[in-house]
Amino acid sequence: MLIILIPLIVVNIQNKDKITEVNSDLLNSGEKNMSTEVPQPPPEKKVDELVTYKGPIDDLNYYDYMAENGNVHKLILDEKGEISTYSVNPAGEEVIAYDNEIIPILEQFIKKHPDFSFQGARGIIALTGYSGILGYRTNELTSPNYEKEKNEALQVVNRLKETGWTFASHGYGHLDANKIRYNTLVKDTKRWKEEVASLIGPTPIYIYPYGSSVQEKSDKFTYLQDRGFHIFFSVGPAPYLKINDNYILMDRRHIDGLAFYDQRDRLLDMFDSNEVLDPLRPDN
Ligand SMILES: [Zn+2]
């Protein structure tokens, strides 16, 4: 599957001597005054739109359909307290691994190449809530397993934070914020706050599902700002970054299956998806 070959992508990016994240302090602070707080990267590093690569990893929730398609089932802590992955393979055996998910892969890589990470920054993990988080069914509030699931999820969350990972909201139900009604967005956001923010803590980052967005100055946008979100990520084909006094808007390049199969040329400055796609993977 695709993810096995992520190290190749990471190495390609590393070789281009570009920096992985500009601004971990800003993203962690939740401060409203954005324009004065951007720390400067070392001058020998070039910063360009690739910052968005290292940016968010969406939907690290391990939805049921993902396990069926060969994704890992959840993130766990190994006996040393490090992040690893847990899955059950088709033979029914439990597998604990470090080379089949972006987080442990990146951690292993940074151990060898510490300069890949500016100021110790890692990526942003964008979570929904409707199927729990990180492989734990924290959405099943009345389940007898709820406390156990919640506590295990919290341990993983805390370790990720210690390591430098940041969290973002990806909405509760992965709804298209542009299409849904105001009241639906309110309900969705409340539920996200109750079930997800209660575990990961407050975050100023909102990553629109489907790469969509809501109009600036709309009721929905004002509502999201009132709820503490000041950094909004969408998806776009070209670099886009707008920094206001009160909020940041940024488009991301989507490095996903769609781009790998149908938009290879848009990724060529980083890597050739033909070289990265696993030949064992069935044609899309
Ligand atoms: Zn998503």
d(CA 228, CA 154): 22
What pLDDT does 147 receive? 97
Does residue 93 belong to any structural domain of this protein?
A: no
For residue 208, the CA-to-ligand 1 centroid distance in Å is 8
Does residue 75 belong to any structural domain of this protein?
A: no
Does residue 95 belong to any structural domain of this protein?
A: no
Return the SS3 of 275. Answer: helix
Does residue 14 belong to any structural domain of this protein?
A: no
For residue 126, the CA-to-ligand 1 centroid distance in Å is 8
For residue 61, the CA-to-ligand 1 centroid distance in Å is 10
What pLDDT does 1 receive? 22
The total of other beta-carbon atoms located within 10 Å of residue 218's CB is 13
Does residue 272 belong to any structural domain of this protein?
A: yes
What are the pLDDT digits (tens) for 103-148?
A: 998 888 888 888 777 777 788 899 999 999 999 999 999 999 999 9
What pLDDT does 86 receive? 96
Question: Tokens 């988080």 belong to which residue?
Answer: 133
What pLDDT does 272 receive? 86
For residue 259, the CA-to-ligand 1 centroid distance in Å is 15
State which amino acid sits at residue 157. V
For residue 174, the CA-to-ligand 1 centroid distance in Å is 6
Does residue 46 belong to any structural domain of this protein?
A: yes
To the question of pTM greater than 0.85 for the whole model, the response is no
For residue 248, the CA-to-ligand 1 centroid distance in Å is 20
For residue 256, the CA-to-ligand 1 centroid distance in Å is 11
Token readout for 237 is 């084909």
For residue 43, the CA-to-ligand 1 centroid distance in Å is 34
For residue 60, the CA-to-ligand 1 centroid distance in Å is 9
Q: Domain holding 153: CATH number?
A: 3.20.20
Domain extent at residue 142: 20-69+119-276
For residue 258, the CA-to-ligand 1 centroid distance in Å is 13
Does residue 157 belong to any structural domain of this protein?
A: yes
Average confidence (pLDDT) per 10 residues, the chain, 284 residues? 35 40 37 38 43 65 84 94 94 93 88 78 91 97 97 98 93 98 98 98 94 94 96 85 87 82 85 81 65
Does residue 85 belong to any structural domain of this protein?
A: no
Give Cβ neighbours of residue 112 (< 8 Å, ≥ 6 apart). Answer: none
Domain count, the chain: 1
What pLDDT does 65 receive? 83
For residue 125, the CA-to-ligand 1 centroid distance in Å is 11
Question: Tokens 């604990």 belong to which residue?
Answer: 96
- Long-range contacts of the stretch 211-216 (C-beta < 8 A, 24+): 211/235, 211/236, 211/252, 211/254, 212/176, 212/177, 212/178, 212/179, 213/177, 213/178, 213/249, 214/177, 214/178, 214/185, 216/249
